[in-house]
Structure 1
Amino acid sequence: LAGEDTPEGKTASSPTASAGPTKAGTGKRSTTIPALPKYPGKASPVTGRVEDAAAGVSLPRLGGSWQLDQRATVKSTFGYDTRQYTEVAPDKYAQVMSGPLPASMSSLYDKDDLEPVIRRMVLQARKDFYPDGNKVRKIAQQPIKVGASTGRLIAYAMTAGTEKATIVTMAVNTGGSVPAIVFVSIPDEGKQLLPDIRTVMNQLKLTAQS
């Protein structure tokens, strides 16, 4: 995999979802991308909050098998300020990470059009966390609200050989010079965790930025 794994692993992969209905009788796939589905199953409990002062948001702290990565090397290893993770198969990890958009990407930021920054963050994740030659397909997208602020969510199905993942990236306007980014990756082997994506989306909150 691209990048060097840490003891907790640097990778994360997961299940694909339908890209939507096809046009009756034409054989052509509809270009309409649906909103995030309500995945079946029970979501993990929420045990508290994870504060991301740099990004200006806080996230739900997921319980159950999820752990909070408290190492000082999270930022240098993963490129995000906070990380929650759980092992779903040997050396395969689901993860939820957050941080401000990197300054090097700030020129892409338009508070009224957040897709360019999401696409760039997904491209970076594909380079950092998945094997070379991986492919993604957009499977869901929707606007989101975090308090009085606006944001956007885009979900992709990632495939790399036999490896599959659902990856979701959210960008949130916080009033700062760059948006907050939340990245969620669920391996196919951990598809029972898919309901946790909606938990993260629904329980994001704005905080004061440091």
Structure 2
Amino acid sequence: MHASSLTERRKHETRLDIARTAAALFVADGLRATRAEDIARAAGVAPRTFYRYFATKEESVAPLFAAGAQQWAEAVRAAPADLPVAAALRHAVTHALAADGPVAAGSLDWVRSLLRMSAESAALRSVWADACHTSEQTLLTILAERAGRDPAAEGCPLELRLAAGIASAAVRVAVETWAAGPAPADGAAGPAALAERCLDALDAFPWP
């Protein structure tokens, strides 16, 4: 493996380790009571290392939000090429949001806990909003690729941008709705099922 690639991988792993540690401390001790220095100590890094990766304690959980959002977008990319957009999106939520194993279920539990905390933290809500926005831009790129268009070009169709925005909002609303309630992640009121319902409500949309 190339040295620069190995360095980037280590940085990525360090960020994720800090993020998991931060989430665990937030759940155990509360967001307000947890300091950045507490997270650094529990993660086994120096405070200066923490601040090299994250500006605030709230930002330290951004990799967890980003990982889930990226998984959803990549699931759209992995959907069979012959599926129309609406079907590809449904295929993606079924795979990306399903609690079909301990790792997936654990990740969704983290997201649920953090989203509940965000109700009382504007900083944490901002981190979640940034992750959702980034996911929408990634989804736009993927939908454009499926349509054979350049998402960076000025001529990227309005319909593609709207499709990415609507689909991203549907998934966000589904996850937030599930997180606010008591339902398990793998049932009819879980995030995957709710996302499918949200997408079903958009059947009238002229998907590109």
TM-score computed with the length of structure 1 as normaliser: 0.23
Q: Give the structure with the higher percent strand.
A: 1
Q: Which has the larger radius of gyration?
A: 2
Bigger RCO (CA 8 Å, 6+ sep): 1
Q: Give the structure with the higher percent helix.
A: 2
TM-score computed with the length of structure 2 as normaliser: 0.24
